[in-house]
Structure 1
Amino acid sequence: MNKQQGFSLIELAIVLVIAGLLLAGVMRGQELIANAKVKGLAADFRNIPTYLYGYQDRFRVLPGDDHAALAHVGGVNAASTSQEQDGLIQGAWSSTNANDESYVIWQHLRLAGFSTGSTDITNAQQYVPRNSEGGQIGLTSVSALDTAVVTAGTFNNVHAMCSDGISGRYALQLDTMLDDGVGNTGAMRLLTKGTVSGGIASPQAASSYLVCMSF
């Protein structure tokens, strides 16, 4: 007559320890991936304003707002008659219109060697910059954001950069890393795209947000 034998306490303990180690490894891996994504998103907010000021230092004019771009970098000028060389980058942050300064800015920066990417403004799909989450990146004047993206008076600086499609979890980490950790105060605001506001203090982790930071 065969006896059925179960696991000993030692064997069960070993199994539980192994399972715990595997779970800890998975969680640690997820944390590392999340941190890498946030660092990549943060790099956009740090680097792009630096590119803008680097261009301004070289040519004494802002990219996009440079109406002598052909002579400076072999680029095109914004065609809109209302957007003059006035020290402001004009146009919607998410513009795909070649008439806008906020659209041709990327060509100017790339031709000048400050950033990489397509310089063909006729192919918006390849030309428009994207963040690591696939959301559009844009840059414009604070005045262009007022009442269209944020409540008027939200930002005190002149220009702002926006990055779309960022999950609430990453957005809050970004704000903590680069600003004050609160989505509706400071230089960085966490916004629901299509809704004008001064920002969302506590974003939902699973929701997607538009993150804008003035500089």
Structure 2
Amino acid sequence: MKHQRGFTLVEIAIVLVIIGLLIGGILRGRTFIENAKIKSVIKNAESITASIYAYQDRYGFLPGDDNTAATRWTGAVNGNGDGLLSVAAEQQNLCNHLERAGLISGSYPTGQYIKHKYGGNIQFGYGAVAGHANGNYMNFINLPGRAADALDKALDDGIYNTGNIRSTVNYNQGTNEDTIIASTVYYF
């Protein structure tokens, strides 16, 4: 009689356990990466806001809106000094003024913006979004719903259409967790 070779149930069970552990580790790793990205977005909002206020304390103007920037730095573009980021050139020069003042790292020629961990720009403006009164804001372009929700919960009230963080899309609903939110606005 020929002796047949094959896998025993114990060997198959061990292989399945190992595969399960590998899949669990990969999924847990993805969760850690996602949480790190979300924390980075929150840190962006906090550090940019702090940099804007530090610039305002130091020079008496909002970065981008500073009507004396060109006297301080060769090649800088002045804003109109009205306290509002309502002019496109002011919005596009905010990062440039912060960089020149040494308040953020990187190189930001006119029209270049800080990017968040999901690859979108953090832009700036003035106006009313989702029922908020007119005001200066930073706009996180193309955040996933879960990141927008986490930002709102960390720095505001956690409701998409109230408080200082606003969106026109309800990122709190489960179906929108993975939806890319075109615009998440943080009033500062």
Same fold, judged at TM 0.5 (above): yes
Residue type of the alignment partner of 1:206: D
Q: Tell me the CA shift for residue 161 of structure 1.
A: 1.1
Q: Distance in 1 between matches of 2:53 and 2:117?
A: 23
Name the SS of the counterpart of 1:137 in structure 2. strand
Select the residue among 74, 93, 103 that pairs with 1:104.
93
Q: Determine if the alignment matches structure 1 residue 189 to structure 2 residue 166.
A: yes
CA contact (8 A) 1:135 1:166 kept: yes
Q: TM-score, normalised by structure 1?
A: 0.75
Q: Tell me the CA shift for residue 38 of structure 1.
A: 0.7
CA contact (8 A) 2:145 2:180 kept: yes
Q: Tell me the CA shift for residue 155 of structure 1.
A: 4.7
- Aligned position for 2:180: 208
Q: Distance in 1 between matches of 2:171 and 2:147?
A: 14
Q: Tell me the CA shift for residue 162 of structure 1.
A: 0.7
- Aligned position for 1:154: 132
- Aligned position for 1:39: 39
RMSD of aligned C-alpha atoms? Answer: 2.3
CA contact (8 A) 1:64 1:77 kept: yes
CA contact (8 A) 1:190 1:201 kept: no
Q: Determine if the alignment matches structure 1 residue 54 to structure 2 residue 54.
A: yes
- Aligned position for 2:11: 11
Q: Determine if the alignment matches structure 1 residue 175 to structure 2 residue 133.
A: no
Question: What runs of 5+ residues in structure 1 fail to find an aligned partner?
Answer: 79-83, 193-198
Q: TM-score, normalised by structure 2?
A: 0.85
1:41-77 deviations in Å (ceiling 9; x for gaps): 1111111111111011111221111101122344221
Question: What runs of 5+ residues in structure 2 fail to find an aligned partner?
Answer: none
- Aligned position for 2:85: 89
1:134-189 deviations in Å (ceiling 9; x for gaps): 21211223xx2x2xxx24x4258x42111101112322232233333332232212
Percent of counterpart pairs with the same letter?
Answer: 37
Q: Tell me the CA shift for residue 89 of structure 1.
A: 1.9
- Aligned position for 2:125: 140
Give 1 or 2: higher strand fraction.
2
Q: Distance in 2 between matches of 1:17 and 1:38?
A: 32
From the superposition, tell whether residues 19 and 200 of structure 1 become closer, same or farther in structure 2 (CA, over 3 Å).
closer
Name the SS of the counterpart of 1:163 in structure 2. strand
Q: Determine if the alignment matches structure 1 residue 129 to structure 2 residue 114.
A: yes
